[in-house]
Each structure stands twice: as C-alpha cells, then as structure tokens.
Structure 1
C-alpha cells in the first residue's frame, strides 16, 4: 500500500551562493561607489545570530515580538508535574484543551482563540496528520519548552487555522554531563519509568537520549494506556561555521485508551435511569484496539556562510502506522438507556517529508538594523487508509456488557461502507520577512506564497473517491512594537492565514481557499521579577462552508463567516524569593456572522466565553516546593445550533516536591514529588453535539522519585 516519496531538490542551494557573493561584492563595491552610495554602504554593521523563536524564525525575544506569544518553560512543566502536552497548555490564555474529555488520550487537539487546531509542530515542522486517525503525538518527556503562537501564522508556516498554533521544542544535547532516572506510580495503576541522559562525547560532539516506558488503566472501564519511546539526538560541530543536529523519535503506543463518546442524556443532561459514572464506556472490550507506531528521522544543518549570511535547513522524515477497532453511536432509544452502535476498523499508514530552508542576514544600514529572512519550505504526505463498518450489538448503558462483539459475526460486506483509498498532500511555500530595529522601535513585515495540492483516490464508503485540491494563496503580516525604557512595550499587528477547502458546489465549481485575517493590539511588560502582557484581538474567517438552501442536504456553498473577538491577560510575578505566581485570563466572543442554514449569530462549540487560571509556587524551606493551581473554564455551547450549554467548571491542582539531599548527603541528587490533578474530583464535560459528549479527566494522583547524577 505504501508509495515511494519523490524528493524535490533544495531550490535555495543556488540562492545561498548567490547571496553570499552578492553580500561580499556589494560591500567591496562600496569603496568605489559614488558619494551617495558610499554613505549608505559604509554604515553596514554585521550582527550575530542566536535562537530563532516560533513567532519570527529569528532571534527576536518574545518580549520584543509584536504579536502575542505564550512560553511554557521546562521549569513550569516540571513544577506542575505535567504528563501530556494537553495538560501543559491548561494554564495558557486563549487555549481550550482536552476537547474530547479525559478518557481520550491519543491526540492533542486544541481550540485557540475560538478555532480548532489539530496541527501540532515539533521543532518548527508540522507533525504530518492524515486527517483521519493517524497523527504523531510527542510525549512531554522529550520536550524542553512549549511555544504558543497566537493568531494567524500562515506567513511563516503555510496552511494553518487562524487561532494560532502550538510548537513543541525538543530537548537538545548539552556539553555538560547530566543523567536523570525517574520512576512514577499513580492512580489507575500507573507505572512509568523514564531516562534523560546528555553530555559531550568530545569537544565537537554532544549527545542526548530520552526514553520512557509506561502503562496504566484508562479512565473508561476496560481500557488501558501503554507507551514506549526513545528519542536520541546528536549535535556535531562539522567546522567553525557549520553545526549539524541529527535526531530520531520512535514511539510505539500498543494501546491508547478509548475514542468513543457518550450521549448527553446521562452526562450533561438528566437521564430517567440516573446519571452515568465518569468511567462509563460505550464500546466493547472485544473490539477496542488502537495500536500506533511512529518513527521520525531528522536533521538540522546550520551553516554560517559569511559574516552577514547564514543558512538553516530543518528536515524530517515521517513513517507511521495505526490500526484501530472501535464503535460509534447510532442513536439512543426512547428508553434513554439502550445505545445502538456500529463497529468499525481503520488500517492506516503514512510516509512524509518536511523541509524548511531558511536564509537569513543581519546587518545595519545607518541607524536601522535589518534581519532579513528568506525561506522555502516543502511538505509531502502519502497516506493509505482502509475502513470497514458493520452493525454491532446495542449496549445497555446502565447495565453494560462490554464483551458482546464477536469479530467473526461482524458483516462488513453488508454495510456498503468499505473504503480503500489514498491521500496525497503537497505544499510548497516561499516566504520573505524583514525584521527592523530603529531606536526603540521593532517592525516586522512579511509575505508568503503557497501552492497546496491534495489528491484523494480509490474507494471511499463504497463509491469511487476522486477529490482534488490545487489552490494557491498569498498571505502576509505586518507589526510594530515600541520599547519604553521602563519595560513597557505596546504593539500592534495585522496577520493573515489560509486553509485549503476540498470539494465543489452543486454546479461543479471548485471551492476557494478559506482565508482569515486578524487585527491585534496589546502591551507587554518585563522587569527582573515581573513579566506581563495584555492583548486584544479580532479574527475574521471567510469562505466557510455552509449548507446550500437550494440544494440537497449534502450540497454546500461558501458564504459562511466566523468572527472571534477577545482579550487575553498573562502575568508571571516573583512576589518574594520563596513565592511566585502565574496567572492567565481570557474573555472571548466568538460568533457565526454569516450563514444560510440558521446558525448565524450562534457561537461555535468548544469556545468557552471566558477562562481563568492561577498557579502559585512556594518554597518555604530549602529543597521544598509547594504548588497550587486553579483552572476555570466558562460555559460552552453543546452544539452548533446552540440548543443548550455545557456547564462551566473550576478545578484545583496541587504539587509537592522535596530534595532529599536536605536530609542526608547520601541522598545527593534524589528528589520526590507528589502531583494531584483535579483534587476535588469534579465532574465536567465536553460535547460536540447532543449525541457525542465526553467526561473530563477524573482526579489523578502521582508520586515520582527522581535521581540525577
């Protein structure tokens, strides 16, 4: 089923030599130029190169970036005892996470500023997702830092939802030797062991190896979670001007909980038979499989061409497979207890490649510093998908028998839903950005051209499948920030994004690309012990698909529009040497502003009206740490028709840690930690519609012991 990949040549190879030649020859020509030219070129001052952040792909610090950006550091992840990426972003403004509840752990799905996003980036490259059930998922043990880029990001990253994106920064090799082993046990019979080792092989080579093995019972009855991963990497100094990073990420998830949903009656709503328990399960233990294997192979080549120009190539190969057996709801009977079900399976495999080429230059012209970025990126994904569907025995939700399905009794041929098809995605993007400093001003202007193609062929749901997208798009952004000497930095920006749309209307006219734009203004503040930001934004997404009022139930047209407005507040404050506080608040108003199917004026699902989070870290004694967090998520709509709301909820988290070195020198490098999520075991929900709801995560208690040497 798998196809071989066709690798396109790196088009910037010639541009590197040309740019290098141009830079040196232009500088030399300045000595013989006319007087006016000499005045310009003689002021050229070469600048250094540093870390490239998510929002700019340059060395600009987050507090200097004229766009909202949230950073979750390694210290923050460790202080909260974070176990997943979904947990990690809980305390960030503008992000609603764990959209499919606590029992579903196989994917990272976020709603950012009112728009769903299932595209996660890892070290600046998208994790290739086939839009079905095969999505690589990075374990938090391999992550050094998480960066959340708010608002449209297409100018640097191409196809992307307009609310923002999450970029996971991997743990990098270090030259100083450090080894850490950690063992964790917890509720739901959790058992976990992890290793993180790093150091220098010699003066030119550093290594790092991260590994983990864990298993636990899932929140839903009969379900389990299992994972094994290893992520080695090498930093190699090839020369004084060239650095090479080689990296691999391998993960096997032989069992990843459940994916099925529950009806709203018995969860959000009262049921005449009583309320369901938060461990309720609508599936069948005999027909419950999710087995995923992912291998990522990559390299980063960073080459200093000369004192002005630098080239970075970031490349990753993806090979992944997933096999799934599951059930879905076919409706709840009038007795409110009998759930009709269907069984299905998917067998999926993917191969893909990402390449991001970045050519940058930093120089001064008179009093103005320029950081020029020229980029060409390429993405290709081939995915083969098989799907089967059959009728399954119904389930009594209040007296469930989770061992009814007999595989041999499932009649897949009778359903007519058999599918065997291939998805091919390809995106080529060229982008240009200039970051300018003038006195206390920072300006950013950038533009990008993308060509996106998508082909779907084969048999889908019993019929021939033939879907083709070939869409091109220009996107851009411009922003400005002014840094006052007192630490305040007001900023404003305008940014655009796009998402390709497949299909056509009833007349055969292909749909256009869905586009979005954002206006954002805010202010940032930074001092030695206080970092804060306040941001206001408005995002408008156009060309949204809606039902065709003059067509069938399956005909669609592009007249929809969604507008999201909001305010986000974030702050981190060291109150004393022993006490620090982190807080975030989001107030948003998301509305369907154009529609012809009766939902104009409604709020999309998974968009809470407000969110509030607060985390306190307190170190009362040397070696001791106490952490306490509060998370409030406001009410959400239960469906697109806004027939009712999902109640708001407020949860409390706790963390207690102690360095055992304080007790005895024999315990040097040993520490213990207790982490409790949802301390009071509050029951809460998330819903897609009244037929598909999920319980939020139950209380979890984990105790870990760490030894570093």
Structure 2
C-alpha cells in the first residue's frame, strides 16, 4: 500500500499540474490576438452526437467532450480506452482485451459507431481500433431520446474515417513493449468530381502483458463517398477485422498483491490460467451506409444503416480466490487442519468458454425541418430507428477446475471445455423520436425531445419479454455573452441488456434519469472550458451478487452525484493542453457508503508544445499526469478493502522532418506499481506496466 509520503507526493504532482495549466493559459492569452487562423485551430467547437445535428458545443445543454484524431495520436493511445483517459468523469479498470469498457460517472458507457449501437451488454466483439476512427464524442449523461439504447452515464460515439476529395494519407510502422509490431496504411482521394475513396489497413503481431497471450489483429476498412451535389452525400464503409487476443487480465489474491508480504507478490505477467485453453479469436464483418440529403434550406434527411456479422470463440481459466470463503486466505487447505501453512500455495480456478455467432442490423432515419415563428428559430427533428440483434451461443462454465500453485505454476492440468449450455437470443427494438431545437436569437436556445420505444427479447424456450418505454429530455442554454453559456438540463435513459453471462442469466432493462447544471466558456477560438454539476439515478442497476462475485444481480437503484471540470486549449504546431477534474459520490440504494470500485476523485492534465529546430525539423514534446483517488469495496461493518490512490505519468516526443514523423510515447513512464481496483471478495486487478511505443510515419 502507498505510504503517507507517496500519497502527498501524488497530490503534489496534481497540484503542480494545475499550476502549470494556469500559467499556460495565462501566457497563451497574452500571446493571442483577437483574430486567429482557422487552419491552426484544432479545438472542436461543434458536435453531432448530442442532437444529431451540427450544433455548436456552446449551444448544447449537456456535457459533451470531443477527442480528435490529433489528440489520440499525441496520447499514443493504443485503444479507445486509452484515448479517453484524459476526459473528465471517465475512468477504467486495467486493460482488458475482451472489450472496450469505459465508465462515466459511475456507470459503464455504451459504445456507438457512426451513431449506431455497437455493444449489446454481454457481447464479445473485437475492440474498435483507433486507427479506423476520425474522432470520438463522449456524450455524458442519459441520451435515450435520440438513441434509445443507452446507459445512464451516456454514450461513446466513434466516427469512422471517411473519404476526402483531396489526395492524402499516411503509412506507418511501429514497435514497442510486449514485442508489439504494427503496420498501418491510410489512403484517401478522389476518383472523380463526385466520387472519393478511402482505405485503412492494419496488421499487428504482438504479445501482451501476460505470458503466453497474443494481441494480434488484421483490419481492412474500405470506404467510398458519392457526392453528386453539395446537398447530397452518400458514404458506404466496409469493415473486416480479425483479432486473436485471449483475456489478458490477472485476478490476483489480496495476499499476493495489495497485502503481499516481502517476496510473496505474484508478478503481473504470470499466466495463472492454461496456455493451451486460453483463446480469444474474434471476427467482425460489417457494412455501413450513411446518407444525407438537403431537399432545400428548410428540409433535410439523414440515414445511417449497418449490418454486422461476427463470430467469437473465447475460453479462459482464471483464479477464484473467493472460493475458500476467506478473502485473506485464498489457498486450499491441503493438510485439512484448518490452518494456513507456508507450503499451501494452491488457489482454486474456474473455467469459462463461449462460442457465439452474431447477426446485428441497425438503422436510424430522421427528417429535419428548419423554420421560424416570428423571432424564434426552430430546428425540428423527427425520426425512427430499429435494431435487430441475434446471437446463437454455446457455453461452458465449470467452477472448481484443477487449482494452480501461484508461485510455481504447472500447466496442462485442465481438460478442454465441453459446451453444455446452448441458447439463441433475439432482441428487437423500435423507437420513434422527436426533438425541437429552439433558438431565441442570440439570447438562448432550448432543446426538448421525447421518444417511445418498444423492445422485445426472446430466449429459446422462454416466453417473449415485451417492454414499452417513453423517455424525455429538456435543456436550456443562455448565451450570457457570445463566449459564455450556462445551461441546465434533464434527460432520461433506457438500456436493454442483451447476451448472457457465464451462468446463462439475462437481465431486465435499466432506467436512468439525470439533472445537470453547468457552464461553458470559450474565451478564444482555441480554448473551451466546462464545469458542471449533475444528479444521476439508475433503477434496476446491476450490482455484484453478495454471495458470488462472478455474478451480477438487479436490486434497487444507484445514485451518482458530482462535479466535473474540463479544459481544452489546442493550437496546431504550437501549444495544446487538456485538463480534467471530477468529484463524484456513487451509492447503492440500500447503502450509505461509496459504491464498490468507483473513485470519488479523478484529475488529469496532458500538454504538448511544438518548437522549430530548423526550417525543416520540428520537435513536439508532451507530458501528462493522471490521478485516480482511492476506491473501496465491501461493507465497512463486515470487511472492507481500500484500493490506494495512484498517480501515473505519460510522455511523448515527436520529430518531424518534411513528410516524415518519428514519435515515441510512454504510458506509465515511471513504471509505478498500482492496482486499478481491488475487491473485498479477496482479489485485485493488476495495473499496467510501463509501455513504450515508437512509430515512424510518412505523410502523402
């Protein structure tokens, strides 16, 4: 555990970061004039996710953060999870090759790609590759009026790279920690005045932080855009992705991690499963059609449709320290005397395997109408979306397979899985929504919306479940000045949960509602700041079964309340700074203490500075610091585990010569030992070691 000195040092680094941020803003403000070259500004001041219209962020009465491709590259992010680690209110546990799991305001976010839902609850799809994305928009808080299926925390919408009518592109090769070798090509350009194409391709051969576990990938993403006029845009995006990456996380006993005595800590990289059984082959094929047409200045139409076919074959053997019933003694009593002895180092394990075939169809279509009623302007939106999700799966779950000596592991003691549970699940959801954005000149803007959903779930051999739900939304933004905009909003969420866990459990839809008040300030075109307070509640929320840490149950509700701050200052080839802070309390309805594995405090800052070394050579240096406050797990009256706070440092350096860039990124630069989360059931997740990546890029 961290000493008091370490904790003071961690907070000191955060305080130092805040001071540097203030100095940076002050110097930047003095250097700026009232005019700025738009080509040099890369702060994103508009977003489409919040309203499904191209709306200035200052006029959106809800918290939304945009992470651009340039920011992703500066961070050296190797996944969507890493791309969001400097976003207010977002936190994650350790890296998990099974999927992109990011939490916002105490709840797991739902992932969307191009405005269409991608993740359906307990669904194992390949992780989205950052090289295939143009930008990431994080809409914070319920958003079901426009999207139907969304968690109380909001949604993460990733926008795919699309063709451009100017020739360009990049080709890069990289090498890094875990013998990670990767090659990426991204080319785009016109075929004619009305046709443009783009191709993104990637090949990766890599190990991972756990012994014997690969992290390989092949990705091909072609796209074509037809633009017969300025009013019509039709884009088709294909995707083929194949991953080979079994689960790479370790669930380590408390006594071998957080509470380990000298010489008794288990290395994070040690395989405690079975190399011959661990597998994670995932294949994803999809085609997306995006279309927009403006009939006139008054009427417009937008459509997004995707068909996905995916296959997953996953198996894992993992530690089950809670099987002994004593969180401080996970070892099997081989002597049968009820007393732990030094020679007893065998820990129970479980086996879980699943083979799934997915077929998913999504479509979202809406009609926009712009009109005025006197001095008031309206941007009305009415639409319908439909999704059809089908999975056919076979599962194997065995509790208590051959245990393993965590200090001297011997493999080959577990038989291959035999699938004994088979199921077909079909989910259908149809939603009708309407929204009106009302602008009272330059004084204020009001957003109101309503939606009606019909959701059905059918599991083989079980009665069909039908749920109907109406969700609402309202928000007001007041433009005190052209750059200062306070806002207030109310929004609701509705989230069906698809798929099955390892016990074959299904779950009822979740319902959420949020009240939020905040302030957005854009003092310069290059700078955007937000501060907000929210009160968020989710009914029928999932929680860990008190009698089984591997299982989730639905009882009561969860309430989250907090304050967030986000600041972004971004000028190409000069100074860029991102800073975030959040404080949140999250509690279950029958508890008066912080919810398990949810930190109260998060703080971060990342900045880059570009300097010219000569006429042809520039150097860009960057550094970041991330702080996550302590977390707790368990009932204080029974047994409670405290996960210590930690502070991590990231860094980057990039040399640019004409069309060439050589960039180095380091995550957890100081190689600090930390635990993302620990459980009162007797285990800790392992943190990520220092990861270094070097990338050589050529720009066409």
Residues 190-269 of structure 1: matches in 2 within 5 Å? 190-238=180-228, 241-259=231-249, 261-269=251-259
Provide the residue aligned with 1:432 in structure 2. Answer: 434
Deviation at 1:511, TM superposition (A): 9.3
Q: Which moved more, 1:221-230 or 1:332-341?
A: 332-341
Contact 2:214–2:244 (CA under 8 A) maintained in structure 1: no
Deviation at 1:700, TM superposition (A): 0.6
Q: Which moved more, 1:237-246 or 1:65-74?
A: 237-246
**Do structure 1's residue 516 and structure 2's residue 541 form an aligned pair?**
no
Contact 1:471–1:500 (CA under 8 A) maintained in structure 2: no
Residues 557 and 620 from structure 1, CA distance in 2 versus in 1: closer, same or farther, beyond 3 angstroms? closer
**Do structure 1's residue 538 and structure 2's residue 535 form an aligned pair?**
yes
SS at match of 2:206: strand
- Alpha-carbon displacement from aligned partner over 1:77-125 (angstroms, at most 9, x marks no partner): 111121110100000001112x2x13x22310111101123x2100110
Residues 65 and 601 from structure 1, CA distance in 2 versus in 1: closer, same or farther, beyond 3 angstroms? same
SS at match of 2:151: coil
The CA distance in 2 between the partners of 1:513 and 1:216, in whole Å, is 38
**Do structure 1's residue 706 and structure 2's residue 697 form an aligned pair?**
yes
Given the two structures, how large is their TM-score scaled by the length of structure 1?
A: 0.83
Provide the residue aligned with 1:82 in structure 2. Answer: 77
Provide the residue aligned with 2:687 in structure 1. Answer: 696
SS at match of 2:85: helix
| Structure (1 or 2) with the larger CA radius of gyration | 1
Provide the residue aligned with 2:104 in structure 1. Answer: 112
Provide the residue aligned with 1:366 in structure 2. Answer: 374
Deviation at 1:345, TM superposition (A): 2.1
Residues 647 and 548 from structure 1, CA distance in 2 versus in 1: closer, same or farther, beyond 3 angstroms? closer
Residues 553 and 304 from structure 1, CA distance in 2 versus in 1: closer, same or farther, beyond 3 angstroms? closer
Contact 1:421–1:457 (CA under 8 A) maintained in structure 2: yes
Q: Which moved more, 1:601-610 or 1:669-678?
A: 601-610
The CA distance in 2 between the partners of 1:511 and 1:288, in whole Å, is 27
The CA distance in 1 between the partners of 2:541 and 2:164, in whole Å, is 47
Deviation at 1:62, TM superposition (A): 1.4
The CA distance in 2 between the partners of 1:553 and 1:532, in whole Å, is 40
Count of matched residue pairs: 622
- Structure 1 unaligned residues grouped into runs of 5+: 1-49, 459-465, 504-509, 662-668
Provide the residue aligned with 2:490 in structure 1. Answer: 494
The CA distance in 2 between the partners of 1:300 and 1:638, in whole Å, is 45
Deviation at 1:648, TM superposition (A): 1.0
Deviation at 1:61, TM superposition (A): 1.4
Residues 126-525 of structure 1: matches in 2 within 5 Å? 126-129=117-120, 131-238=121-228, 241-259=231-249, 261-270=251-260, 274-330=264-320, 331=323, 332-334=330-332, 335=340, 337-390=345-398, 392-407=401-416, 412=418, 418-439=420-441, 440-457=443-460, 466=462, 468-485=464-481, 487-500=483-496, 513-525=509-521
SS at match of 2:73: helix
Contact 2:97–2:245 (CA under 8 A) maintained in structure 1: no
Residues 702 and 587 from structure 1, CA distance in 2 versus in 1: closer, same or farther, beyond 3 angstroms? same
Residues 581 and 228 from structure 1, CA distance in 2 versus in 1: closer, same or farther, beyond 3 angstroms? same
Quick one: which of 102, 112, 115 aligns to 1:121? 112
Deviation at 1:688, TM superposition (A): 6.5
The CA distance in 1 between the partners of 2:508 and 2:180, in whole Å, is 48
The CA distance in 1 between the partners of 2:123 and 2:489, in whole Å, is 36
Residues 92 and 547 from structure 1, CA distance in 2 versus in 1: closer, same or farther, beyond 3 angstroms? closer
- Alpha-carbon displacement from aligned partner over 1:358-381 (angstroms, at most 9, x marks no partner): 111122222111000001000111
The CA distance in 2 between the partners of 1:284 and 1:547, in whole Å, is 26
Deviation at 1:636, TM superposition (A): 1.4
Task: Output the aligned Cα RMSD.
Answer: 2.9
- Structure 2 unaligned residues grouped into runs of 5+: 1-44, 324-329, 333-339, 500-505
Contact 2:290–2:304 (CA under 8 A) maintained in structure 1: yes
Deviation at 1:501, TM superposition (A): 7.2
The CA distance in 2 between the partners of 1:136 and 1:365, in whole Å, is 48
Contact 1:340–1:393 (CA under 8 A) maintained in structure 2: yes
Residues 426 and 701 from structure 1, CA distance in 2 versus in 1: closer, same or farther, beyond 3 angstroms? same
Deviation at 1:205, TM superposition (A): 0.4
The CA distance in 1 between the partners of 2:100 and 2:402, in whole Å, is 31
**Do structure 1's residue 654 and structure 2's residue 622 form an aligned pair?**
no
Deviation at 1:256, TM superposition (A): 4.0
Residues 493 and 339 from structure 1, CA distance in 2 versus in 1: closer, same or farther, beyond 3 angstroms? same
- Alpha-carbon displacement from aligned partner over 1:520-551 (angstroms, at most 9, x marks no partner): 001001123321111010112234478999x9
The CA distance in 1 between the partners of 2:548 and 2:331, in whole Å, is 27
Residues 60 and 627 from structure 1, CA distance in 2 versus in 1: closer, same or farther, beyond 3 angstroms? same
Deviation at 1:552, TM superposition (A): 14
Residues 540 and 240 from structure 1, CA distance in 2 versus in 1: closer, same or farther, beyond 3 angstroms? closer
